[in-house]
Structure 1
Amino acid sequence: MDTRVAVISIIVENSDSIETLNQLLYDARDHIIGRMGIPYREKGISIISIAIDASQDIISALSGKIGRLKGVSTKTAYSNVITHTEEKHD
């Protein structure tokens, strides 16, 4: 399975979605390289950036789930850094 590096940018405008968002990120913890969160208190929003190294399908699925949360916007930027790995057959 090939993996690639990407950054998922998230803006949370509805704090009711934070618990679900955190659960989604926890579930993807094995693929997340790092996370930066900035609370913008004056505007009442949170800005989150996630660096991830995973398959295209995993990145797209995570970004899609996040984007469907109420009051949450997301954009994904993919790098051209792709790691080719051989799949293990048990």
Structure 2
Amino acid sequence: MESRIALIGIIVEEKDSVERLNTVLHEYGEYVVGRMGIPYHKRQVSVISIVIDAPSDVISALSGKLGMIPHVSVKTVYSKLSH
């Protein structure tokens, strides 16, 4: 199956959601290329970006699971490259 690179942008609005978010990300750890998290104290949110290299269905599944977590917003951008 073809693999694609994607960037998943995540905004976490409640700290209570972080443990579940990390559990989901851990499940997909083999596909994660890198992760950057920025706490934005002024607005009391965390902004996280995940770079992933995986088949499209895996990326979609991960994005869907993250999006179902309460107080978590997710958007995914796919590269045009595939291998």
Fold similarity call, TM over 0.5:
yes
The structure that is helix-richer by fraction is 2
**Residues 65-80 of structure 1: pairs in structure 2 closer than 5 A:** 65-80=65-80
* TM-score normalized with structure 1 length: 0.90
- The one-letter code sitting in structure 2 at the alignment partner of 1:80 is K
| Equivalent position of 2:37 in the other structure | 37
**Equivalent AA in structure 1 for residue 58 of structure 2:** I
Unaligned 5+ residue runs, structure 2? none
Cα displacement string for residues 2-52 of structure 1 (whole angstroms, at most 9, x for unaligned residues):
110000000000111100000111111100000000000111100000000
**Higher Rg of the two aligned structures:** 1
1:46 alignment partner in structure 2? 46
| Corresponding position of 1:7 | 7
Aligned length: 83
In the TM superposition, residue 55 of structure 1 has moved relative to its aligned partner by: 0.5
Which residues of structure 1 form unaligned runs of 5+?
84-90
Displacement after TM superposition at 1:68 (Å): 0.7
Q: Which amino acid aligns with 1:24?
A: V
Query: 4+ residue stretches of structure 1 with deviation over 4 A?
Result: none
Q: TM-score, normalised by structure 2?
A: 0.98
Distance 2:74 2:65 in 1: 10
Aligned-residue CA RMSD (Å): 0.5
Deviation per CA, 1:57-77: give whole Å up to 9, x if none.
Answer: 100000000001100000000
